[in-house]
Amino acid sequence: MSFIEAENIWKSYGKGEAKTVVLKGINLKIEEGEFVAIIGPSGCGKSTLLNILGLLDTPDKGNLYINNKKTTRMSENERARFRRKISGFIFQQFYLINSLTALENVELPMMLEGYSKNYRKRRAKQLLESVDLGDRLYYYPYQLSGGQQQRVAIARALANNPKIIFADEPTGNLDSKRSQQIMDILKNLHDEGITIVMVTHELEYTKYATKIVKMKDGMIVDILG
Ligand code: ADP
Ligand code: ADP
């Protein structure tokens, strides 16, 4: 079995007249160590699919297996625990906590897992150094540029040693120089063996992908690679 297997995933939002069917029978397999880029026009269901693959959302119908576990049969709690254990997330909007320093933002996921203060601080520092923010540990998000904030978010995503990183338009709010820095980091993480699943509308960055999934109108219309 593949690392991730999505079988006939359906998802809609709303009810009655307002009902929109967003995913229409998605089948997708992702192997460990792949770098998957999900592309397609705005509104075609990319983020919805990413959220379902990342266990942030649940399908109405279909099965999702991750690491040989049938996630669609888990309770909400089990799913949340499983998600925290194996995945990290990066979003276009960064979603850092503004009242916490860069260091504290990175410590947070480790706190939820119950690691000691000492360990948390040491690891958060190392992670921030690895994304070139060793001199910004005590800065708050609003004191950092967009590129710097996204690098804090990457350090946070790595805190609990994820097997897989889900990235939703990670460069969507950044200029091309900062975008390239983020893509270089994602490429390095992939080279280190982390599986990456990224939604992007920047076709330039699909060159880092080992598999390109093209979506249209809630369906996968092509898989390259
Ligand atoms: P993409 O990432 O390809 O732009 P999305 O997955 O974000 O597409 O959205 C697909 C469709 O689902 C859009 O029409 C969007 O408006 C709708 N949608 C997404 N999330 C919700 C939601 N929480 N409630 C209602 N409609 C939603
Ligand atoms: P980005 O991540 O957006 O590319 P950089 O890290 O390249 O930002 O920062 C650009 C320059 O601005 C660097 O020399 C950096 O040290 C400086 N800089 C960024 N943020 C601040 C800040 N809050 N205070 C002082 N200098 C800053």
Q: Determine whether 184 is exposed, middle or buried from the number of CB atoms within 10 Å of its CB (0-12, 13-18, 19+).
A: exposed
Question: Is 87 within 8 Å of 163 (Cβ atoms)?
Answer: yes
pLDDT in tens, the chain (225 residues): 999 999 999 999 999 999 999 999 999 999 999 999 999 999 999 999 999 999 999 999 999 999 999 999 999 999 999 999 999 999 999 999 999 999 999 999 999 899 999 999 999 999 999 999 999 999 999 999 999 999 999 999 999 999 999 999 999 999 999 999 999 999 999 999 999 999 998 999 999 999 999 999 999 999 998
pLDDT value of position 58: 96
The model's pTM is 0.91
DSSP state of 16: G
Residue 195: predicted pLDDT: 98
Q: Output the CA 141–ligand 2 centroid distance in Å.
A: 12
CA triple 222-83-10, angle to 5 deg: 40
From 13, 166, 221, the mutation candidate for ligand 1 (largest count of ligand atoms within 8 A of CB) is 13
Q: 212 C-alpha vs ligand 1 centroid, how far in Å?
A: 21
For residue 184, how far is its CA from the centre of ligand 1 (angstroms)?
A: 29
Render pLDDT for 145-204 as a digit per residue (tens, 0 to 9): 999 999 999 999 999 999 999 999 999 999 999 999 999 999 999 999 999 999 998 999
Ligand nearest to the CA of 23: 1
Give residue 153's pLDDT: 98
User: Secondary structure of the chain: what % helix, strand, coil (to 5)?
Assistant: 40, 25, 35
Q: DSSP per residue over 169-187, as a string?
A: STTTTS-HHHHHHHHHHHH
Nearest to 64 by CA among 96, 20, 94, 29: 29
Complex ipTM over 0.85: no
- Ligand closest to 132 (CA) is 2
Dist. CA 45 → ligand 1 center (Å): 6
Mutate-to-test residue for ligand 2 from 101, 143, 148, highest number of ligand atoms within 8 A of CB:
148
* CA-proximal residue: ligand 2, atom 17 (nearest): 145
The number of helix segments (H) and strand segments (E) in the chain equals 6, 10
Q: Which domains occur in the chain, in start order? A: 4-224 (3.40.50.300)
Counting from 1 in the atom list of ligand 1, the atom nearest the Cα of 49 is 6
